[in-house]
Amino acid sequence: MSHAVSGSAPAALKNDRYLRALSKQPVDMTPVWMMRQAGRYLPEYKATRAEAGDFMSLCKNADLACEVTLQPLRRFALDAAILFSDILTIPDAMGLGLYFEAGEGPKFARPLTSKADVERLGVPDPEGELQYVMNAVRTIRRELKGEVPLIGFSGSPWTLATYMIEGGTSKAFTKIKKMAFADPQALHLLLDKLSDAVVAYLNAQIKAGAQSVMIFDTWGGVLSPRDYRLFSLQYMEKIVDGLIRENEGRRVPVTLFTKNGGMWLESIAATGCDAVGLDWTINIDEARARIGDKVALQGNMDPSMLYAAPERIREEVATILKGYGSGTGHVFNLGHGIHLDVPPDNAGVFVDAVHELSKPYHVADK
């Protein structure tokens, strides 16, 4: 299914390396951005968050969300900006009462416990309950002034469902697995509603100015291979099928990222996505051999490597670049989000190393 949005084309991108790599078009060097690049490792982020008062107030203020999105771009030569938001905006808009406990992460005041709870849920209007996200996208896109593309994102239905049923983060995921195996109809109903909500949410982000979108399936890796396909992958495929794939005269690439999903790369690549995100538990040369002719790859340095000395960081970047090899189709990233106590200078070493050391792999692309 092909979806396009018509409209007048805005100013051309000054740096479209990231979008080109996702479409496997030639680039002069490997593009790089970092998951959670706007965040607590930056002192300027902490100052803006303090100004906002709390995390969700920061998300809901378009000007402040824009400010923290742009902060890492002022420090580092990143090839993309990513919307500053949270994956739990959709469940919050569904009325589950999102709140944050200091040092404990997100929690829901009203987690789902039965099929009746699921049946009561409505699909939120992206320009209604979630309009603050679209306002942030519009503001960021305007303020980027075409410097780099803007990435929009959502959590996957399975990952969102884990928080909605567990009531927060979990180690064993017993509550959602209990529903999966004791009342699968209830869980499938929830996952179906969440798929519809994510399609509407991401398409609204694209219309508001996101030039690429990413789906984070943080907890897909806790499932067995059969249950991964049943409860996670089929719903991500439904989302990919419903997304706007062309806007402003160019393709809107979609990246799927399942943490600990290395064993299912072929199935993920077969969804129709443009790129597959890799964590650090798989070698990128193996991933490219398995699916690199079908999709672009994003990843995959262990974020903890950013604690290392600069030379060790450069060495790791060189190893991953060599693993991927020559040609386009690689977006360099960490295998998950940057840790909050990483020295910002080390992130700069990482970004600069990717650009400098990747140039020889793209000589034939010019």
For the question of residue 142 being annotated catalytic, the response is no
37 assigned ligand-binding residue: yes
For the question of residue 361 being annotated catalytic, the response is no
Active-site pick, 28, 40, 99, 251: 40
For the question of residue 251 being annotated catalytic, the response is no
Cβ-Cβ contacts under 8 Å for 47 (sequence gap 6 or more): none
Q: Which of 358, 13, 288 lies closest to 151 in space, CA to CA?
A: 13
**Pairing of the two strands 150-155 and 212-217:** parallel
**SS3 sequence of 148-210:** CCEEEEEECHHHHHHHHHHCECCCCCHHHHHHHHHCHHHHHHHHHHHHHHHHHHHHHHHHHCC
Q: Which of 136, 168, 145 lies closest to 38 in space, CA to CA?
A: 136
Active-site pick, 16, 17, 18, 36: 36
**Pairing of the two strands 275-277 and 296-301:** parallel
CA 210 to chain centre: 12
For 215-241, b/e burial (b = at least 16 CB within 10 A) is bbbbbbbbbeeebbebbbbbbbbbbbe
For the question of residue 120 being annotated catalytic, the response is no
Active-site pick, 18, 41, 45, 163: 163
218 assigned ligand-binding residue: yes
131 assigned ligand-binding residue: no
For the question of residue 40 being annotated catalytic, the response is yes
CA 309 to chain centre: 27
Active-site pick, 28, 49, 196, 241: 49
40 assigned ligand-binding residue: yes
36 assigned ligand-binding residue: yes
**SS3 sequence of 55-89:** HHHHHHCHHHHHHHHHHHHHHCCCCCEECCCCCCH
38 assigned ligand-binding residue: yes
For the annotated binding site, the residues are 36-40, 86, 163, 218, 336
Catalytic residues: 36, 40, 49, 86, 163
Binding site residues for substrate, as ranges?
Answer: 36-40, 86, 163, 218, 336
